[in-house]
Structure 1
Amino acid sequence: MAGVQPFLHDLLVTLQAPSQVWSAGDGQVHPNGAQGVYHADVRALSSAVVRVNGVLPESVSAGRTGPGELEAVGLLRMIDTPGADPTVILCRRRTVRPGHVAERLELSSATAEPVAGRVTLRVASDLAPLERIKQGTPSSPLPPAVTGEGVSWHEGDVGVVVAAPGASVAADADGATLTWDVTVPPGRPLTLDWSVRTRAPGVVSAPASAAPEWSVPVVEADDRRLAALVARSLEDLAGLRMSAGFAPEETFLAAGAPWFFTLFGRDSLWAARMLLPLGTDLARGTLRTLAARQGTVTDTETAEQPGKILHEIRGGDLDVGGGTVLPPLYYGTVDATSLWICLLHDAWRWGLAADDVEGLLPALEHALAWMRDHGDNDGDGFLDYADESGHGLSNQGWKDSGDAVQWRDGTLAEGPIALSEVQAYAYEAAMGGAELLDAFGREGAGEWRAWAADLSSRFRKRFWLSDDDGPYVAIALDRHGAPVDSVTSNMGHLLGTGLLDPEEERLVARRLVAPDMSSGYGLRTLSSRSAGYWPLRYHGGTVWTHDTAVTLLGMARAGLGEEAAVLVRGLLDAAPHMGYQLPELYGGNAVGDGPGPLPYPAACHPQGWSAASAVVLLTAILGLSPSDGGLDIAPIVPSPVGALRVEGLRVAGRTATVDVDAHAGATLSIGDA
């Protein structure tokens, strides 16, 4: 159906940035929806379907076997001998590397005599841009050119070459059929190989280094779901590592697959921040990459301003529908600049080398100045946003859908919008920035502490509301300065930032673990009592993994372990339903309302900050915080996962191990640098 975003929840993904393959549950790449072989936001192949004697193999198993690898097993009863037992199988092994997808087709037989058949691979390409696929816009296959060992497609700077050694090739206007006539002897597998290589221009590519920038901890817990979630999440994150052409030696994490397979200021910053207990190298790469494109001028079309950190970067204009067209380098985000400062400060505390920090201090000063000089559009003293281009994002916080900021009765708030969590990020950035300025002998620390104190005072007067359940924080102020009264997850991001006092943090935490906000599988984005609530509304009732993680970490840092444990258990209860790959978001239905959390069908998976949230669980449960080159621990009591041991944490270049017993008695050991 034209104009309908394709679903992803039941598709298998195999990836190694910037390449990815989306296939059906049988491992086949059917010419449907979002299925395809992609590279750098271009669909290189729109189908890759294997048949034997004209019939699809009968799928019995398919799934990942390692980073960037998938294996699908099908039965070949069309060439099998009579009998109840299936004795001829096809194993399809896929490996994805940057710009290269290879498959080995292995046919095995346990029949008494050799079996013969015809294996065909039907491939097609539309070279469609990812944005067109996301919008559900129909595309047509392009005619291929026959080459020595297969077929190819070329259009502009994009080139796709399929090689299938030993196959005969029959091309037509819609694609090509590659054919092998085979005889499979009993007990001796027969293998066929084919591959696709893609060349496509892009501003992001594979990272310079092959190994991830973080340690991989050994996790042992009474609740075994925690270790499974951490292992799967770190494997997924390894596939999201990218570099930008303007900073090729640095590495960051792409926001998510398939739609956001690129640099996003906010998302990449949050993911790097969440991974700090495993090392600071990713944070350094993310900070440097974003600093390389820090705003220098005022440009309404791109939303660039001096000192501002970008929102996202693409290879060309991005038409997301509804009149929203984003330029290749787009700065329409109100929070990435503050979050950049927060990451720099936190990375410094976790042990980022002084020389690395010092090299980023000019960018820090420019970012601080942006908060003061450009962050406030209407002059009320709060950071806010308004799209002045007429074709940019209408909402520019992390909840960036058009209906993300609404009143309790469901009507939409009018901008400029000043989000509550953005004020918390700004407060934390000003205080952290001041600490860095002092530590490195630069001027201005006093000014920023005063600025933060003033912001805190004004926030307390303007953002607090009360209803029958007591006090809570409004999601935002609207264009008239009125506090928007819906109860949302946004206030969870205030916890642990310093903006609230301890009693205010307790009030917020209590509201967030109430049944209208906590689904039992995580934190709903909007209270189920709101008129606009729906469990599958993008920012109006779903659960976002990272949102829950940020909130529970804030609770833990505020000493609210009981409330944090509610959300920890929620994510762990959700994880097995999704194969321990927590996606971008999922349904806000309550525990018991169905067999598990409803999939949000178009959600990205893996998603950078969702996968990184697994490390947040470790940080919160153990109560980790860096301190003068060492590590402080303050575990949640009682531990929500029972006894827990984590080896391979990193602080100031040293390795740390933490043991917590079931009653949260803890020991810490730190090795030499």
Structure 2
Amino acid sequence: MLQPLLHDLVSTVMAPASALSDADGQIRPAGVQGLFYADRRVLSQARLFVDGREPESVGHAPAGAGRDRFVSLARWLGDRTADPTVRLDRLRELSPYGMIEQVAITSTASSPVTATVTVELSCDFAAIDAVKSGRPGTPVPATPVGEGRLSWGSDTTHVTVTGHDAQALVEGSDGPACLRWEVSLPPRGRVTLRWELTAEDPAAVVVTPTASLEWSPPRVTADDRRITRLLDQSLEDLRSLRLAEPGAPGDTFLGAGAPWFLTLFGRDSIWAARMLLPLGTRLAAGTLRVLARRQGTRLDPDTGEAPGKIMHELRREAFDLAGQKGRLPAVYYGTIDATPLWISLLHDAWRWGMPPSEVEELLPHLRAALGWLADHADPDGDGFIEYVDSSGRGLANQGWKDSGDSVRFHDGRQAEPPIALAEVQGYAHQAALHGAALLDAFGLPGAARWREYAAALAERFRDAFWVDGPQGRFPALALDRDKRPVNALTSNIGHLLGTGLLSQEESARVAELLASPAMAEGFGLRTMSSREGGFSPLSYHCGSVWPHDTAIVIAALAREGFGEQAATLAEGLLAAAESFGYRLPELYAGDARDQVGRPVAYPAACRPQAWSAAAAIAIAHAALGLYPDVPAGRARLRPLSGAPLGALTVAGMRVAGAEVEVSVDHDGGAAVTGLPSDLHLEEAVSPSSRRP
């Protein structure tokens, strides 16, 4: 079975619901199309007919968070002229409990129009992993339950469809059910038909949050209109991806992406919350608490759990890996990087002004996470953080590039586990320093130990990871089971910037490589250099471009002072955003820009994707360069030199709860207003860009 493709479908999302249809709005019984609710397909068909014929599509457009509009024509109705006179506007809106559709039929004909409108409906309750694997579902018979009402039921889920002023029909046990309306329009008349679906699923492990939106949409003025459009669409998408657990609906996190990953993912949810810190700390706080409640407490090789470890993925039941021999347990801990990233999210949220009382509540979990780093992250004792799937049923690779073939040598050979990834050593180094800062600030012992740990890790990394290649020295992607450097040049090394693991000279070398044509001639940062034996533009992790990966590197380059390189990568993402209607997908192909003109879609990529949407905030923040340290009573202002993205003003950023406005003019001069009075602005000039 092949995984169904997504790139040409329209995705409408309001978590935990998501709908995927063809561009004409029809949900057809094929592939991944359908309405999903908490990892179940609760509607596998919703096809609209007028007099037994499908209307002709002329366009579609997003209409806000969780809403899409589809426009079509019934050209066989109305006046016999060149211009169409009967139009259908189909507005799809997802709610926390299902979906509502309104079909407005408008006639500009000079004579009355009559028609029979039907919506054919099917439900198969297919699990999301079965759909992802390409396995077809089995339709469940519908039951009429009153005037204009239909229902379907499974062992855990109940679905009800109501057609207002409609007739509900069920023809046979195998065929679709339908809603039917008889429509009569006077000359230049209009009528609106409405139907809605409600899903009840007490077994769902994720629900819609009860908390108000965790951020206020910023007010943005930019010379480059792509920035404002990308931010507008991204914030709408992020709003639609908000989730909570049933037992704690007030703690919000972001589901990773629709349709495959609309649930809690440790790494993804952490990175998205971290990139959104310039808009406030509430999302970060909710994400930290949710993951802390599921922090590991015991050793379990089947789930990958270990004391202090932060989980990877939450599902309602075990999840089959599409195209791989594996089955993940419902609560799975197979991630090597979520735990150090959790520590750094706590630290960064504290510096952006997360209330000390909220930080203090999480300090026992901080100490447990540091305990995992000390006792369980380095099973062979070589001083590096590494992973291996000892169960034989989990993820073979457990960094963010978690596909089975992502760790390759320069000649294309795959590395054998245990694997010690380069960027994970950077995360661990940064987490040790961040943990030490938090321990000191809250009067807890152990900070000196973690600073010593970081210093020793940096020396070991310098000795073991740096290799020679065609473009000179660079950090290897990883160490394999024999402690050999996996000598491919990849985007992973960009995550080392800003972690403190590299010297200034080493950072300059990494920045130079990241901006080289082999890495940056596409629409963003390639995951692997085009000179590597394993490179393919349409490989999931070996040559494609991931917006979140590029954004993480942009942010690190900007903070380290490599503004020219950051601007080059940002321009690539902005160009890609324009091609994708400002909804950046999970990933896209890594073809060179001068070869394709516009980015080629990766056909199975999720859209929207939380950390791809959050990349918009990371780009704007990198351009502005405001870095607060609320506990220390200071803030730095360090925008990109020369304003390479043009003049930009963002009002509505949040520092310690205060609304802040930051602006950069055409010459790169920066200003900030609204900082809390107890923060001292240390720097308000644009430094010269560092050149490797």
Same fold (TM over 0.5): yes
SS in 2 for 1:91: strand
Write out per-residue CA displacement over residues 12-62 of structure 1, whole angstroms, 9 at most, x where no aligned residue.
111111011111111111112111111011111111000101111111121
State the SS of the aligned residue for 1:204: coil
Q: Which amino acid aligns with 1:328?
A: A
Work out the CA distance in 1 between the residues paired with 2:131 and 2:302.
25
SS at match of 2:213: coil
Q: Tell me whether 1:153 sits opposite 2:157 in the alignment.
A: no
User: In the alignment, which residue of structure 1 is the partner of 2:329?
Assistant: 327
Q: Indicate the residue corresponding to 2:674 in structure 1.
A: 670
2:665 maps to what in 1? 661
- Other-structure match for 1:62: 60
Shift of the alpha carbon at 1:629? 4.4
Given that residues 40 and 125 in structure 2 are in contact (C-alpha distance below 8 angstroms), is that contact kept between their aligned partners in structure 1?
Answer: yes
Deviations 1:403-422 (A, max 9, x none): 01011111110110000000
CA–CA separation in structure 2 for the residues paired with 1:150 and 1:80: 31
- Aligned equivalents of 1:672 and 1:187: distance in 2? 59
Query: Given the alignment of the two structures, is residue 525 of structure 1 paired with residue 516 of structure 2, yes or no?
Result: no
Query: What is the match of residue 282 of structure 1?
Result: 283
2:387·2:398 contact (CA, 8 Å) conserved in 1? yes
TM-score by length of 2: 0.95
> For residue 642 of structure 2, what is the aligned residue in structure 1?
638
- Alignment partner, residue 558 of structure 2: 556
Q: Which residue does the alignment assign to 1:81?
A: 79
2:66 maps to amino acid: G
- Mapping of 1:98-497 within 5 angstroms? 98-148=96-146, 149-171=148-170, 172=172, 173-200=174-201, 201-209=203-211, 211-321=212-322, 322-497=324-499
Greater CA drift, 197-206 or 379-388: 197-206
Name the amino acid aligned to 2:99.
V
> How far, CA to CA, are the matches of 2:97 and 2:634 in structure 1?
42
The superposition leaves residues 567-619 of structure 1 with CA deviations (integer Å, 9 ceiling, x where unpaired) of 11111111100000111100000112223111001101110111001110011
Let me know the Cα RMSD of the aligned residues.
1.1
SS at match of 1:565: helix
Mapped contact 1:377–1:386 kept (Cα < 8 A) = no
Q: SS at 2:596's partner residue?
A: coil
**SS in structure 1 at match of 2:594:** coil
Counterpart residue number, 2:4: 6
Report how far residue 530 of structure 1 moved: 1.1
Query: Normalising by the residue count of structure 1, what TM-score does the alignment of the two structures yield?
Result: 0.98
Letter in 1 for 2:582: Y
Q: Kindly indicate whether the alpha-carbon contact (under 8 Å) linking 2:78 and 2:111 is maintained by their aligned counterparts in 1.
A: no
Equivalence map 1:586-605=2 (5 Å): 586-605=588-607
Contact 1:630 1:652 in 2 (8 A): no
User: What is the CA distance between 1:188 and its match in structure 2?
Assistant: 3.0
CA contact (8 A) 2:57 2:72 kept: yes
Match of 1:468, as an amino acid?
P
Query: Structure 2 unaligned runs (5+)?
Result: 678-692
1:90 matched to 2:88: yes
Asked if residue 650 in structure 1 is aligned to residue 654 in structure 2, the reply is yes
- The answer as to whether partners of 1:247 and 1:292 remain within 8 angstroms in 2 is no
Which residue identity is paired with 2:14? Answer: Q
Q: Distance in 1 between matches of 2:410 and 2:362?
A: 42
Are the equivalent residues in 1 in contact too, given 2:88–2:104 (CA < 8 A)? yes
* Distance in 2 of aligned mates of 1:140 and 1:82: 43
- Specify the SS of the correspondent of 2:518: coil
Q: Secondary structure at the match of 1:585?
A: coil
- Whether the 8 Å CA contact 2:493–2:510 is kept in 1: the answer is yes
Contact preservation (8 Å) 1:350, 1:629: no
Residues 486-545 of structure 1: per-residue CA shift (max 9 Å, x gap): 110000000011110111000001011111111331000011111111100000100000
Instruction: Answer yes or no: is the 8 Å Cα contact 2:31–2:136 preserved in 1.
Output: no
**Range moving further from structure 2, 262-271 or 73-82:** 73-82
Q: Deviations over 1:197-236 (max 9, x none)?
A: 1112211110112x32012111111111011111110110
Runs of 4+ in structure 1 displaced over 3 angstroms? 628-631
- Output the amino acid matched with 2:641: V
Decide whether the 8 Å contact of 2:77 with 2:85 is kept in 1: no
- Give the CA deviation at 1:671: 5.0
| Deviation string, structure 1 residues 157-185 (Cα, Å, up to 9, x no partner) | 11111111222232132321221111112
Structure 1 Cα separation of the partners of residues 105 and 490 of structure 2: 54
State the alpha-carbon separation in 2 of the partners of residues 631 and 219 from structure 1: 21
- Is the contact between residue 53 and residue 78 of structure 1 (CA under 8 Å) also seen in structure 2? no
| Structure-2 separation of matches of 1:261 and 1:391 | 22
Q: Which whole-Å deviations, capped at 9, do the CAs of 1:633-664 have from their partners, x for residues lacking one?
A: 11111212111111111111111111211121
Following the alignment from structure 2 to structure 1, what is the Cα–Cα distance between the partners of residues 222 and 188?
43
Distance 1:519 1:328 in 2: 40
Structure 1 gaps, min length 5: none
**Which residue identity lines up with residue 227 of structure 1 in the other structure?**
T
Within the candidate set 42, 45, 58, 1:44 is matched to 42
- What is the SS of the residue equivalent to 1:50? strand
CA contact 1:569–1:640 (8 Å) conserved in 2: no
* Structure 1 SS opposite 2:568: helix
Partners in 2 of 1:669 and 1:484 — Cα distance?
A: 47
Identity of aligned residues (%): 50
Q: In the alignment, which residue of structure 2 is the partner of 1:34?
A: 32
Query: Which amino acid counterpart does residue 233 of structure 1 have in structure 2?
Result: S
